[in-house]
């Protein structure tokens, strides 16, 4: 058998040798050359989640975000349009925006005072005679816009590639899961306005992306919090659960918990409550959705990983920011639903308890990621095993691969898409 | 402990209470630490952002008395992996000042520096703590503790110990 590691040292990694149907090579998580290839072939090419339109609600609002290693300003112009600009002055490459967020019609570079409109257009530079007077360079220099920006129900995505699949093509079957989340708002709108926790993680970003829809780990990693709170969540990921793991295509995947919630058939059970505890919300939902409300309130929120960096976990949104082969940052916030004040405060309270650096769920996931990363330094066995549930995988009525709640169907979908992107020259 | 009730506040007595609370946290003495809190307790580690509406935004920790118990019970299982094995901790508290009174509660401010060692490596934590102390049956109790990390606007590593 060939040794993929040795061959890889000669001409860059050969991804077809490192990714198989049911196992992947450990170097994919540790090799800086792989990380460099990922920046070029994934982060700076495919659609990547950036932020939510509700974070820049008013004209002039801006917030700093990341796209791969890029520092990006997400800003809303006077025309209402949301734009993404790379945070780099066209003169000497200084950061033009230092504040995390704010409201401004323009960005002024502190180094030599070059000023840009929040559309990116260069509108002024001091001592302009040095450039032959006003109007000589404005048309030529600007803040660099991210080539393609798209949004779906307020979720803003971007691609550094000038062309390629559309956002709708990229999202594919995952778009419906974002729709399901928005539908839980009586006004059909998600808002991400509760602020973000930023959790520094000494592990490769893919360990997180894979774990988000791994239904095998919760009973073990989260057994401590499930046991002390008598949480019903663990049962959703038991060996007997009728929930499923679905490969949504394009690297996206979900833990579809609806079969379990339908079996119980109680509205608001997905939120750990009953309808009499949130009467205003239930009334607003029945008014907005009529007969369809019952099903929506029973089925609850999605649990979906959208390749490569957006994870919607029922009432939380996570964003994965890669830093290096061995480090990333997890951003997390509580979902807020327009027209659902009864739910919003509770979603924040539950999320603060669960996620972020001190979260009673996520701190343990992160401990696992970091131990995984340290374990990956061991040279044998070379591979990570992804075969769980392969023999019982089926294709559903939508033509999508489906596994049991604890199966690794999602990870196999992730890696299949990853390979396609990494092999595209 | 000598109760300072009805007398001028004795800063030394306050310091000794803060040191004891810190020692219980450093040594993972969960029972002793839990017993310091009042029933209306608030244990709050804000994230970046303003501090005006904690219920409307994300915090690193925002525990009422019941959630403090949940947090400690999770640690007590021994399967809270982010603290199993527990971090080795030592903190220094300094610049202790009485900031004022709110009703019968005493507001105290202090700075801290904390070294945390675990397999992942050594983390250095620092910040400003504001305590709300109450004298109950002649003993200081902790009604609120707000920890403002100096780097709270930056990505933070896992913070699963008692800070």
Across A87-96, average pLDDT:
98
Residue B8 pLDDT exceeds 90: no
Across A123-150, average pLDDT:
94
> Domain for residue A369, yes or no?
yes
Same domain, A244 and A112: no
Minimal CA–CA distance to A196: which of A366, A71, A316? A316
Residue B4 pLDDT exceeds 60: no
Best A64, A98, A195, A326 member to test B by mutation, with max B CBs in 10 Å, is A195
> Nearest residue on chain A to B47, judged by CA atoms?
A197
Residue A270 pLDDT exceeds 50: yes
| Count of beta carbons in the 10 Å neighbourhood of residue A336 | 24
pLDDT of residue B2: 45
Of chain B, the end-to-end C-alpha distance in Å amounts to: 24
Compute φ and ψ for A49, nearest 5 degrees.
Answer: -70, 135
Q: What is the C-alpha separation between B85 and B102, in angstroms, rounded?
A: 39
Tell me whether residues A360 and B119 touch, CB distance under 8 A: no
CB contacts under 8 A, A 185-214 vs B, are 194-200, 202
Tell me whether residues A199 and B73 touch, CB distance under 8 A: no
User: Omega into A335 within 30° of 0, i.e. cis?
Assistant: no
> Domain for residue A93, yes or no?
yes
Comparing CB atoms, the residue among A228, A334, A370 nearest residue B70 is: A228
pLDDT of residue A68: 98
Same domain, A227 and A334: yes
Comparing CB atoms, the residue among B56, B80, B159 nearest residue A364 is: B80
Residues of chain B positioned with their CB less than 8 A from the CB of A364: 80-82, 160
Give B49's pLDDT tier (boundaries 50, 70, 90).
confident
> Domain for residue A110, yes or no?
yes
Domain count, chain A: 2
Minimal CA–CA distance to A248: which of A413, A361, A381, A374? A413
- For chain B, how many residues are written? 163
Domain boundaries along the sequence of chain B = 11-49+58-149
Which value, to the nearest 10 degrees, does the dihedral of the CA atoms of residues A273, A277, A283, A289 take? 0
Q: Does A164 touch chain B (CB under 8 A)?
A: no
CB contacts under 8 A, A 238-297 vs B, are none
Give the Å distances, CA to CA, from A263 to A12, A235, A257, A333.
50, 13, 10, 29
Compute φ and ψ for A34, nearest 5 degrees.
Answer: -65, -45
Q: What is the C-alpha separation between A246 and A254, in angstroms, rounded?
A: 5
> Nearest residue on chain A to B163, judged by CA atoms?
A358
pTM, rounded to two decimals: 0.95
> Domain for residue A236, yes or no?
yes
CATH number reported for the structural domain that contains residue A332 in this entry: 3.90.380.10
CATH number of B11-49+58-149: 3.10.450.50
Give A11's pLDDT tier (boundaries 50, 70, 90).
confident
pLDDT of residue A4: 53
> Domain for residue A296, yes or no?
yes
CB contacts under 8 A, B 28-47 vs A, are 45, 47
> Domain for residue A198, yes or no?
yes
Same domain, A215 and A141: no
Q: What is the DSSP letter of A399?
A: S
Residue A5 pLDDT exceeds 80: no
> Domain for residue A410, yes or no?
yes
Same domain, A98 and A218: no
Residues of chain B positioned with their CB less than 8 A from the CB of A352: 58-62
CATH number reported for the structural domain that contains residue A58 in this entry: 2.102.10.10
Residues of chain B positioned with their CB less than 8 A from the CB of A371: 119
Place of tokens 């409201």: A103
Same domain, A259 and A182: yes
Of A152, A182, A214, the domain-final residue: A152
Tell me whether residues A357 and B55 touch, CB distance under 8 A: no
Count CA within 13 A, CB hemisphere, residue A176: 8
Give per-residue burial for B30-69: e unless 16+ CB within 10 Å, then b: beebbebbbeebbbbbbbbbeeeebeebbbbbbbbeebbb
| Count of beta carbons in the 10 Å neighbourhood of residue B146 | 21
> A256, exposed or middle or buried, with CB in 10 Å at 0-12, 13-18, 19+?
buried
Residues of chain B positioned with their CB less than 8 A from the CB of A98: none
Q: What is the C-alpha separation between B69 and A384, in angstroms, rounded?
A: 38
- CB within 8 A of A67, min separation 6: which ones? A43, A44, A48, A50, A84, A146, A158, A160
Give B50's pLDDT tier (boundaries 50, 70, 90).
confident
For all residues of chain A together, what is the average pLDDT? 96
Q: How far is CA B138 from the centre of its chain?
A: 21
ipTM of this complex > 0.90? yes
Residue B58 pLDDT exceeds 50: yes
Tell me whether residues B47 and A197 touch, CB distance under 8 A: yes
Q: What is the C-alpha separation between A159 and A168, in angstroms, rounded?
A: 13
pLDDT of residue A1: 46
pLDDT of residue A374: 97
- For chain A, how many residues are written? 425
Same domain, A369 and A297: yes
Taking only the tens place, the pLDDT of each residue in B106-162 is 999 999 999 999 998 999 999 999 999 999 999 999 999 999 999 999 999 999 999
Residues of chain A positioned with their CB less than 8 A from the CB of B71: 360
Same domain, A259 and A397: yes
> Domain for residue A399, yes or no?
yes
Same domain, A91 and A125: yes
| Count of beta carbons in the 10 Å neighbourhood of residue A264 | 10
CB contacts under 8 A, A 354-393 vs B, are 356-358, 360, 363-364, 366-368, 370-371, 374
Comparing CB atoms, the residue among A194, A198, A368 nearest residue B57 is: A194
Domain that holds residue A57: 51-152
Of A152, A185, A206, the domain-final residue: A152
Which value, to the nearest 10 degrees, does the dihedral of the CA atoms of residues A48, A54, A59, A60 take? -60
């Amino acid at each position: 058998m060939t040794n993929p590691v040795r061959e890889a040292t000669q001409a860059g990694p050969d991804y077809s040798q490192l990714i198989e149907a049911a196992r992947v090579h450990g170097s994919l998580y540790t090799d800086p050359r792989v990380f460099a290839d990922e920046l070029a072939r994934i982060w700076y090419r495919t659609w990547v989640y950036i932020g939510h339109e509700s974070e820049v609600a008013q004209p002039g609002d801006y917030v700093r975000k990341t796209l791969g290693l890029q520092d990006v300003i997400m800003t809303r112009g006077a025309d209402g349009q949301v734009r993404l600009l790379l945070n780099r002055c066209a003169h000497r490459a200084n950061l033009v925006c230092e504040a995390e967020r704010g409201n401004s019609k323009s960005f002024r570079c502190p180094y030599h005072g070059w000023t840009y409109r929040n559309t990116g257009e260069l509108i002024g530079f001091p001592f302009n005679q040095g450039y032959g007077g006003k109007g000589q360079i404005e048309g030529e220099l600007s803040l660099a816009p991210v080539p393609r920006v798209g949004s779906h129900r307020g979720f803003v995505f971007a691609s550094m590639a000038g062309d390629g699949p559309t956002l709708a093509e990229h999202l594919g079957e995952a778009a419906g899961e974002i729709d399901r989340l928005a539908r839980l708002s009586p006004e059909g709108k998600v808002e991400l306005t509760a602020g973000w926790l930023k959790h520094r993680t000494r592990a490769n970003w893919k360990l997180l992306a894979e774990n988000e829809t791994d239904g095998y780990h919760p009973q073990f990693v989260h057994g401590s919090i499930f046991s002390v709170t008598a949480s019903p969540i663990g049962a959703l990921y038991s060996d007997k659960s009728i929930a499923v793991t679905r490969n949504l295509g394009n690297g996206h995947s979900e833990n579809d918990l609806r079969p379990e919630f339908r079996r119980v058939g109680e509205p608001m059970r997905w939120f750990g409550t009953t309808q009499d505890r949130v009467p205003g919300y239930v009334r607003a939902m029945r008014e907005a959705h009529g007969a369809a409300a019952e099903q929506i309130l029973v089925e609850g929120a999605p649990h979906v990983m959208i390749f490569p960096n957006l994870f919607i976990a029922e009432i939380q949104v996570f964003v994965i920011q890669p830093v290096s082969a061995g480090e990333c940052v997890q951003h997390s916030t509580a979902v807020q639903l327009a027209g659902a004040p009864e739910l919003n405060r509770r979603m924040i309270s539950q999320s603060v308890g669960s996620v972020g650096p001190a979260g009673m769920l996520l701190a343990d996931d992160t401990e696992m990621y970091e131990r995984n990363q340290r374990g990956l330094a061991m040279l044998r066995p070379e591979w990570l095993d992804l075969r769980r549930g392969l023999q019982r995988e089926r294709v559903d009525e939508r033509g999508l691969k489906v596994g049991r709640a604890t199966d690794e169907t999602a990870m196999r979908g992730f890696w299949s898409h990853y390979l396609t992107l990494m092999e595209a020259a | 402990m000598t109760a300072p009730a009805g007398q001028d506040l004795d800063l030394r007595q306050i310091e000794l209470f803060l040191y004891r609370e810190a020692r219980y946290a450093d040594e993972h003495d969960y029972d002793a630490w839990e017993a310091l809190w009042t029933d209306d307790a608030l244990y709050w580690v804000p994230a970046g952002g303003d501090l005006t509406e904690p219920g409307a935004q994300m915090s690193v920790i925002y525990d009422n008395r019941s959630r403090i118990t949940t947090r400690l019970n999770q640690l007590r299982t021994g399967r809270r992996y982010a603290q199993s094995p527990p971090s080795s901790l030592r903190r220094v508290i300094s610049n202790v000042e009485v900031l004022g009174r709110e009703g019968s509660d005493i507001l105290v401010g202090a700075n801290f520096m904390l070294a945390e060692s675990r397999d992942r490596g050594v983390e250095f934590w620092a910040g400003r703590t504001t305590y709300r102390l109450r004298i109950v049956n002649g003993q200081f109790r902790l009604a609120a503790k707000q920890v403002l990390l100096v780097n709270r606007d930056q990505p933070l590593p896992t913070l699963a110990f008692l800070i």
